[in-house]
Structure 1
């Protein structure tokens, strides 16, 4: 039977009675120094002729009965020749080492950021496209995993999530970037095997074929009607983005990442520089009245931001404008469910939509192609350096009038063909 009782210990604590040691027998004693907030159990033993002392826990952690049980177990190990204090220190060092290893571990998120900063940023023309795939598709599924722990089944799970949301092209892109990212990790000795190596497009989005989808007048009118009905959930900024993408026939990343310094609203021109175009060809885009009206409103909404579509939330994504996937996600969540009778379309189909309607309005093919900033082909492209600015301006003004009628839901979609208008001018 030990010498201490719980009643005694609680009394010492209540009275604040301090002491170096009060023994209980079998090497167990209680210490209550001035610096201690609560008494501490200690175990004293001898090993190889040397005395050892170790803490085994506070009175708040171990009751008297538990402390005696622990001391008894330790006495038994000491009798077998084990250094229990040394074992405790070893366990502590192992725990600290494990914590440090976890803290310094190469997660997929860390590997992706390193890959982006060292390989993509500053080298790729449109780095935000890669950043979007990393943030929206790779990190949510694999980000917290250690890079070395990722298995092919994890890659398959990620791809299936993308495929099920109806984005096969994005699935192919994500697979391609994952392969490159994990190869980068192998070079940096982060992992030994690429978990995505065995996959090919057939496991992701399949073979990509050229799309031919475009929206007719009724479908465009239905799209704008759905956006009006979902006003609030589908923000006015998203609405304006759709309007400008249809009207100006630019690529999504060209508009979403556009800074205000590229726009001369007084002269009605968007100076899109070559470093932000897919074709590496800069172009001056004429801005019809509908575009200017929209941009003036967006500038008011931007609240002094340097970007037409500034980031809407606090983001740690290294981009000052909205994510490239924001508009896609908003359309999928709020608008497409209301367009059940409209075949599926993508934002990139807006360019084909504009091109088709420009042709229907009688726009010269050369002019229509330059509206999309396509290079003229063959000898014509080599020797014809005319930019068709005035012709493009008239074409986009014609298209803007039609688009405005469709957006307003007006029944009369008849617009004078451009060729007749030019002839009458």
Structure 2
């Protein structure tokens, strides 16, 4: 039989003529079985004394001329000692293995979420601390990467980005949790080497220096005035900062508070032990000013169970405001206080403690207002909770804050157009 022609092939297709193989020469064959929708090109050759056959495409994919070119190229490779059919099978096997590997690959976000659910949730007193680090830093920076593809340079990039935004302490925390997540991945046989193991706090942010910043009375007056001028500074943020100052509580104790914790008629906040840093519940006396501010937050929160419900639909598992919300809001206020040295939200607790001392509050009572444990022998034998004393102390502190609201003189002015651009 001579060479094939396109006219012949099309006639066979039109007539529905089926056959196992009709040759064109040089190892090129055309097959048209009953189950074939269109004829199929096959290449037959010998390798190491054995007959080999491979499919190279259908007639719909390769014309007769293209099929001949393909066979010519394959024959040249066979002549050089290549088993082209075997190579094709190897590539197919490798491709399938790659697909399976990709399907089973674990991303960093999946690892972080699994670590959180299995090792943190239900075990740690404050699981939201780890949740926030996953949502704010680890997820956005590394989340889409496969765990086995993460290199030390990725860790370094993440840490440096956190330091550059002015959060060195957070960088240290992220490093600690990331290192533990990778250790967990080693136990799960996901990876063999921890890419974060070579890093220490010096690579993240260095030694964490204790702060001693506290706002003076004049600075507090400027803060209250600036909060009234700042654009985009919500009532919720204003009230939150005032409550943090007055009640001496930690930021997340307020941000994650449920309405059910507050007994406003009795002027008491029942802070549960699972949300207290000491691990023990504490009743916080509420001055009349605090009750007034809390009632406003209750009204603003509407039907939500949370005092400060989340304000945006975000990819988070936390229904209350994020830990960075108040700090971000504070950034809108600070430009209205150009002469005031920089301060953070955490400095508000130190500010409260400083002014309690200035008001003549007993040091033990002042420490209990901040829910600090009493040290040494006094802490071991003295189980008095100082509730009434704390109420008196916070009432004095509330009176001072109320007076500072209208204290003069203070230098706070709206931002000029030029300074708005800089801010």
Band of TM-score, shorter chain: 0.7 to 0.9
Alignment deviations for residues 217-275 of structure 1 (CA, whole Å, 9 cap, x no partner): 2323333444433342x443333322221121101121111122211122221101222
The whole-number CA distance in structure 2 between the counterparts of 1:76 and 1:115 is 54
Instruction: Give the match's secondary structure for 1:258.
Output: coil
Instruction: Give the match's secondary structure for 1:280.
Output: coil
Partner of residue 219, structure 1? 219
1:91 is aligned to 2:95: no
Comparing 200-209 and 279-288, the one that deviates more = 200-209
- After superposition, residues 20-419 of structure 1 pair within 5 angstroms as 27=28, 42-43=41-42, 45=44, 54=55, 56=57, 69-70=69-70, 72-74=72-74, 76-77=76-77, 87-232=87-232, 234-332=233-331, 334-407=332-405, 410-411=407-408
CA displacement at 1:354 relative to structure 2 = 0.9
The whole-number CA distance in structure 1 between the counterparts of 2:265 and 2:51 is 90
Alignment deviations for residues 55-88 of structure 1 (CA, whole Å, 9 cap, x no partner): 63795x7788766644543465577786756654
CA displacement at 1:338 relative to structure 2 = 4.8
The whole-number CA distance in structure 2 between the counterparts of 1:173 and 1:215 is 27
Partner of residue 416, structure 2? none
The whole-number CA distance in structure 1 between the counterparts of 2:317 and 2:300 is 22
The whole-number CA distance in structure 2 between the counterparts of 1:120 and 1:50 is 61
Structure 2: 5+ residue stretches without partners: 411-423
The whole-number CA distance in structure 2 between the counterparts of 1:43 and 1:239 is 77
The number of residue pairs the alignment matches comes to 401
**Alpha carbon RMSD of aligned pairs, Å?**
3.8
TM-score, normalising length from structure 2? 0.79
Equivalent residues of 1:3, 1:24 under 8 A apart = no
Equivalent residues of 1:41, 1:67 under 8 A apart = no
Equivalent residues of 2:43, 2:56 under 8 A apart = no
CA displacement at 1:200 relative to structure 2 = 2.2
Comparing 49-58 and 347-356, the one that deviates more = 49-58
Instruction: Give the match's secondary structure for 1:366.
Output: helix
Structure 1: 5+ residue stretches without partners: 10-15, 414-425
Equivalent residues of 1:367, 1:391 under 8 A apart = yes
TM-score, normalising length from structure 1? 0.78
Equivalent residues of 1:272, 1:282 under 8 A apart = yes
Q: 1:82 to 1:377 in 2, by over 3 A?
A: closer
Q: 1:224 to 1:49 in 2, by over 3 A?
A: same
The whole-number CA distance in structure 2 between the counterparts of 1:397 and 1:345 is 25
Comparing 309-318 and 173-182, the one that deviates more = 309-318
Equivalent residues of 2:29, 2:44 under 8 A apart = no
Equivalent residues of 1:4, 1:24 under 8 A apart = no
Equivalent residues of 2:310, 2:322 under 8 A apart = yes
Comparing 312-321 and 247-256, the one that deviates more = 312-321
Instruction: Give the match's secondary structure for 1:185.
Output: helix
Q: 1:326 to 1:3 in 2, by over 3 A?
A: farther
